[in-house]
Amino acid sequence: MKIRPLHQGDLDAAADNDFRAFSWPSAADREEWGHRAARSVRDGLYLGGFDGDRLVASARILDLAQWWHGRAVPMAGIAGVSVAPEDRGRGAGRRIMAAVLERCGALGSPLSVLFPATTPLYREFGWEHAGAQHVIGLAAEGLRTLAAEPVPVRRPGPQDAAEVAAVLRRVHAAAADCGPLDWGEDEWRLRLDEPGGRFRYLADDGFLSYRWIRDGAALEVDKLVAGSERTLRALWAIVGSGSSIARTVEVRAAPHDPVLWLVRERPDDEVRRHPWMLRVVDAPAAVAARGFPAGVDVSAPLVIEDPLCPGNTGSWRLTVSGGAGGLEPAGAAAERAVRLGPRGLAALYAGAPVGVLRRSGLLGGGDPGTDAALGAAFGGVPFTLDAF
């Protein structure tokens, strides 16, 4: 199988393979895919594997960033990994993922994220489960009365893409969030210009995007972020104003979203969890780029074994101080060094408890002191509001 970047003339075959793999919910979704696929082709970020002239497998790489404790880290999102049905089980998926990982390294992306349809393939290449997109069901009636005072809002258009992106960045940075995606201005310009029935509102320190679903029986909030209680209440009250028609609201939210503490009644939460996997492609760069808790001051020896990303392999000294971190070569491995492979490194970076990693066989070595240091440095609850 020969692997190369797709050309514009390959997109019909790529669309057919993706339809066979994932289906298209609607004609609008197919059109939206076409716009994004064409942009990936333009940027050389849509890879295809060919048997002669026939497209067998493909995958798109998205040039994104992801927030980690209040800092945006460059990240390669992997989307649309598909193999033609008649070619499955022959190693095409492995070959396309090997090419994808190599391309991520060439792009200089310290991290990579994907939403898996299967787990074993991606674990083989060093991705590991890290966080999730949470969809939480709320009663619409309970949202209508949340507003305490009016907040100026407006309906943004494509010309407001830079401001929308800036507001989201300020909110995620101030909240020290772990996991949310940063799409950048170009993607927001496209989103704010596309049809699809979404209603959007922009405040000085907040943003709301929602739509009707289930033929008007419910509302879906795909993004609501705010930097203050005042704006948070005002935006949720806009959603709740539809409660005379909609009985329920499906919200893409953090598992610790403030709205869960604002609503008056909160019976059993209805939560759907869509997991995503993380790969640390460049460990020193990933540690240097992310944020850490300002009050943490730790040092710990690490030994990483990563045959697919050899730049990660070696003995390292992790230091965290003043909200910043570093990973420096340490020469000979320390006696109490923590030992990790790529999957354990990804899960640790994402905030998985060290004890969980030990019991799952993803982390070894070290001692109670290093465990406490790593937990204090990396601990968190990662989430995304978006998927791809």
Mean pLDDT (the chain) is 95
Q: List, in order of start, the domains of the chain with CATH numbers.
A: 2-126 (3.40.630.30), 134-274 (3.40.630.30), 282-379 (3.30.1050.10)
User: Which residue is associated with the tokens 């990303």?
Assistant: 309
Residue 280 β-bridge partners:
111
Position 255 pLDDT exceeds 80? yes
Position 294 pLDDT exceeds 70? yes
Phi first, then psi: give them for residue 283, nearest 5 degrees: -60, -50
Structure token digits, residue 261: 């503490």
188 neighbors 161 (Cβ within 8 angstroms): yes
**329-349 per-position pLDDT tens digit:** 998 777 889 999 999 999 999
Position 10 pLDDT exceeds 80? yes
**34-87 per-position pLDDT tens digit:** 988 999 999 999 999 999 999 999 999 999 999 999 999 999 999 999 999 999
If phi > 0 it is left, if psi is from -120 to 50 it is alpha, else beta; for residue 121 that is: alpha
Rounded to two decimals, what is the model's pTM?
A: 0.94
The span from the CA of 112 to the CA of 345, in Å, is: 13
Q: How confident is the model at residue 223 (pLDDT cuts 50, 70, 90)?
A: very high
Question: Which residue, 76, 66, 68, 73, is CA-closest to 97?
Answer: 76
The span from the CA of 347 to the CA of 309, in Å, is: 16
The span from the CA of 229 to the CA of 367, in Å, is: 42
- The single-letter DSSP state of residue 192 is T
With 0-12 / 13-18 / 19 or more C-beta atoms within 10 angstroms meaning exposed / middle / buried, residue 167 is buried
**128-186 per-position pLDDT tens digit:** 999 999 999 999 989 988 877 889 999 999 999 999 999 999 999 999 999 999 999 99
Question: Which residue, 251, 246, 247, 248, is CA-closest to 235?
Answer: 251
Average of pLDDT values for 308-315?
98
pLDDT of amino acid 25: 67
Query: Cβ atoms within 10 A of the Cβ of 216, count?
Result: 10
